[in-house]
Copies of this chain bind each other. A is one copy, B any other.
């Protein structure tokens, strides 16, 4: 068994969580996204999405700006450079694991 295979246990757990993987993947494909867009795209509840975004913000992976569009509150989410690096590395590690274990 290659030591490389073991590296799967070193995957970034913050991104590995499926709902967060979905959020980060969506954010990595757009310049920025507002909360309602993310909620619609992910199908997550407001509470769940909010909790996951907070964790990603705490890790420095997502920047969240609360602003207004006219009188309506608008929450803009954007992947940071650290977040982009994290999802890129995560994908590389996962892809590498999948390729090593193709059966």
What residues make up the interface of A, taking CB atoms closer than 8 Å to B?
A: 1, 5-6, 8-11, 13, 16, 18-19, 21-22, 25-26, 28-29, 41-44, 91, 94-95, 98, 101, 103
Q: Complex formed: what's the CA distance from A98 to B102 in Å?
A: 15
Residue of B nearest to A13 (CB): B18
Quick check: A41 and B1 within 8 Å, CB to CB? yes
Residue of B nearest to A44 (CB): B9
Given the known inter-chain contacts A25-B101, A29-B101, A103-B29, please indicate yes or no for A9 contacting B19, CB distance below 8 A. yes
Q: A6 touches which one: B6, B9, B43, B98 (CB < 8 A)?
A: B43
9 A-B pairs whose Cβ atoms sit less than 8 Å apart in the complex: A6-B41, A8-B18, A9-B19, A9-B42, A13-B18, A16-B18, A25-B101, A29-B101, A29-B103
Complex interface: chain B residues within 8 A of A44 (CB):
9
Quick check: A25 and B5 within 8 Å, CB to CB? yes
Quick check: B29 and A18 within 8 Å, CB to CB? no
